[in-house]
């Protein structure tokens, strides 16, 4: 059973989404991810697309993120995110849960720029690439020095031609690959 690794809700076990439609992050990968983000998560904003259990966003809130928006289209997953937020005592104004299609959200004008956008789609190939292309086409969703982080199976990865984003790091942890994107150098002021 996944848990919150550090911060205010450290040690709290997270409820899982019923069924096999989600692909929750393992504690090992989550710990590695937050070791990479380090203290920069404090005061940051995170957009958790395909939120599933909410594990990544909840870990961010527990470690001091200022705001997390959880986006989920599956009703059972959405209920699990809300249940986990309550269980961890993090269901306050720093957490916003939206029942919405991630692709529909990304096609709208951005209502804020996020420091981190986390893309962890369910087990349907190609969804990560579609979400990444939409963020690239609507760069206002990402802060000037923000990162997009994609969680996929290593066999799903392929290079994607992007205009505003470029990959800068990859980390493989067993059957999970994290790919990190940032605004292209040409985009930086």
Q: Is pLDDT at 86 greater than 80 in this prediction?
A: yes
Q: What is the mean pLDDT of the chain?
A: 94
Question: How far is it, in rounded angstroms, from Cα 145 to Cα 166?
Answer: 12
Percentage of residues in the chain having pLDDT higher than 70: 95
Interval 167-188: pLDDT, tens:
999 999 999 999 999 999 865 5
pLDDT tier for residue 124 given thresholds of 50, 70 and 90? low
Using an 8 Å Cβ cutoff, are 116 and 45 in contact?
yes
Residue 155 three-state SS = helix
pLDDT of residue 93: 96
Interval 39-79: pLDDT, tens:
999 999 999 999 999 999 999 999 999 999 999 999 999 99
pLDDT of residue 18: 85
CATH architecture of 27-183: 3-Layer(aba) Sandwich (3.40)
Task: Show the tokens assigned to 50.
Answer: 């395909």
pLDDT of residue 21: 60
Phi, psi of 181 (to 5 degrees): -125, 150
pLDDT tier for residue 146 given thresholds of 50, 70 and 90? very high
């Amino acid at each position: 059973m996944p848990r919150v690794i550090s911060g205010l809700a450290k040690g709290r076990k997270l409820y899982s989404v019923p069924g096999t439609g989600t692909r929750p992050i393992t504690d090992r990968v989550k710990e590695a991810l937050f070791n990479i983000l380090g203290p920069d998560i404090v005061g940051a904003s995170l957009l958790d697309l395909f939120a599933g259990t909410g594990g990544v966003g909840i870990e961010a809130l527990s470690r001091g993120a200022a705001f997390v928006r959880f986006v989920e289209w599956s009703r059972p997953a959405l209920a699990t995110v809300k249940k986990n937020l309550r269980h961890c005592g993090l269901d306050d104004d720093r957490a916003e849960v939206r029942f919405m299609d991630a692709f529909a959200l990304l096609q709208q004008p951005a209502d804020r720029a996020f420091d981190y956008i986390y893309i962890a789609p369910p087990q349907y190939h190609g969804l990560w690439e579609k979400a990444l292309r939409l963020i690239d086409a609507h760069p206002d969703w990402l802060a000037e020095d923000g990162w997009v982080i994609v969680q996929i199976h290593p066999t799903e990865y392929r290079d994607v031609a992007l205009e505003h984003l470029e990959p800068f790091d990859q980390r493989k942890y067993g059957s999970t690959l994290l790919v990190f994107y940032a605004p292209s150098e040409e985009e930086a002021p």
